[in-house]
Amino acid sequence: MKFVDQATITVKAGDGGNGCLSFRREKFVPRGGPDGGDGGDGGSVYLRADKHLQTLYDLKVKPHYKTRRGSHGKGKRMSGKRGTDIYIRVPPGIVVVNGKNTIGELLNHNETLLIARGGKGGRGNYRFTSSTNRAPDHAEQGTRGEEKKLQIILKLISDIGLVGLPNSGKSTLLNAMTRARSKVGDYPFTTLNPHLGMLRDDYKRIIIADMPGIIEGAHQGRGLGLQFLRHIERTNLLILVIDISAPQPLNHYESILEEFKNYSGELLKKPRVIVFNKVDLMNTVPEFTLEEKAFYVSALKGHGIQELVTYLKHEDTIKAR
């Protein structure tokens, strides 16, 4: 299924039904009392997070949602029927935005978020009966259901993000560490969408996200970078994948950090490890002195992968799921 991480939807909640204005009519009862029932509430629109979904593709295909109105009240104090609520399924990790305001987000499976409230049903006239007014001659109108145009933005939920320049071997690394089959190619921008893989042991489930390559200027929208950097905003750890066979591997390290800094300071604060990949292409493997923990691996041949996996499974910054 196509990966879609942004969608605009319109939602219209049902209007409330009108209250009824009615008086009882019965044989032998000359002046019956007021008996107009209440209008039903209109149906509301909710979002519900569903862990089985990974994309907003469905919303792209079907962007309009509305619920039924409440029925009007009737005589004999009969209330109108409520409009049924609807729940739109979305993947966990979405943020809902209305213009410039964030309305809310859904992170966990089955969590729900009200996005358009149904109108209230109006009260029927019998409700207005009082000691001073035994024959109220008015009933309320139902209120209108909310109508909104909303932007839904998906920020994938993953524990670890794989970031690096195009072709550094991120997808190959994901495939080597997990059972994922992320597309690999000897050209830049093979990976066009984030791709998830999972590391699992008895205690933890660690979700790793393979990202499209980032290039200089990614934070300004160059390459594919910007639109995807937000998917790593929620990770606990970043793995910077660097092709050690490149002429100046440390320049790659610098430029990734520069993009992080320009995107948002938050990315820079995240714990990270460095993976120097493609050691199989080197006769001698240089060792760099960096602040971060570094691994020297060959994702293609499998060298050093087990050590990296063991480290990640024991890394405290990665929360158990």
Binding positions for Mg ion, rule: CB under 5 A:
170-171, 190-191
Candidates 53-61, 128-136, 230-238, 296-304 — which segment interacts with ligand GTP by CB under 6 A?
Answer: 296-304
Interaction of residue 170 with ligand GTP, rule CB under 6 A? yes
* In the complex, least distance from residue 242 CB atom to ligand GTP, rounded to whole angstroms: 10
From the list Mg ion, ligand GTP, none, pick the one residue 160 interacts with, judged by a Cβ distance below 5 to 8 Å according to partner type. Answer: none
120 versus 170: smaller Cβ distance to Mg ion: 170
Amino acid code (one letter) for 96: V
The least distance separating Mg ion from the CB of residue 171, rounded to whole angstroms, comes to 3
User: Shortest Cβ contact with ligand GTP: which residue?
Assistant: 213
Q: Taking the complex as a whole, how short is the minimal distance between the CB of residue 222 and ligand GTP, in angstroms?
A: 14
Contact call for residue 54 and ligand GTP (CB under 6 A): no
Q: How far is CA 68 from CA 118, 121, 310, in A?
A: 9, 13, 54
For the bound state, the minimum distance from the C-beta of residue 249 to ligand GTP, rounded and expressed in Å, comes to 13
Q: CB nearer to ligand GTP: give 281 or 290.
A: 281
Q: For the window 213-252, what string marks contact with ligand GTP as x by the rule CB under 6 A?
A: x---------------------------------------
Q: What residues contact 240, with CB distance under 8 A and at least 6 apart?
A: 163, 164, 253, 256, 272, 273, 274, 275, 292
Q: How far is CA 109 from CA 49, 53, 89, 171, 286, in A?
A: 5, 10, 10, 27, 45
User: What does 193 bind: Mg ion, ligand GTP, none (CB cut-off 5 to 8 Å by kind)?
Assistant: none
169, 194, 197, 225: residue in contact with ligand GTP (rule CB under 6 A):
169
d(CA 178, CA 316): 20
| Token pair 């990614």 in the structure block, residue | 218
Contact present, 211 and 223 (Cβ < 8 Å):
no
- Applying CB under 6 A, the span of 90-98, 107-115, 178-186, 200-208 interacting with ligand GTP comes to 178-186
d(CA 49, CA 44) in angstroms, rounded, equals 16
Shortest Å distance, C-beta 241 to ligand GTP: 6
Question: What are the DSSP calls for 229-275, one per residue?
Answer: HGGGTT-SEEEEEEETTSS-HHHHHHHHHHHHHHH-HHHHHS-EEEE
Q: For residue 193, state whether it binds ligand GTP (rule: CB under 6 A).
A: no
Among 214, 212, 98, 216, which Cα is nearest to 156's?
A: 212
User: Quick one: which segment of 12-20, 75-83, 167-175, 253-261 binds ligand GTP (CB under 6 A)?
Assistant: 167-175
Q: Name the residue with tokens 């035994």.
A: 134
In this structure, the dihedral spanned by the alpha carbons of residues 176, 180, 181 and 184, taken in order and rounded to 10 degrees, is -50
Backbone angle region of 23, left / alpha / beta, with phi > 0 → left and psi within -120 to 50 → alpha: beta
Please give the Cα distance from 17 to 41 (Å, whole number): 6
- Cα–Cα distance between 203 and 193 in angstroms, integer? 29
| Distance of closest approach, residue 147 Cβ to ligand GTP, in angstroms | 41
* Interface segment toward ligand GTP; rule CB under 6 A; list 75-83, 120-128, 187-195, 257-265: 187-195
- Residues binding ligand GTP (CB under 6 A): 164, 166-172, 184-186, 188-191, 212-213, 277-278, 280-281, 298-300
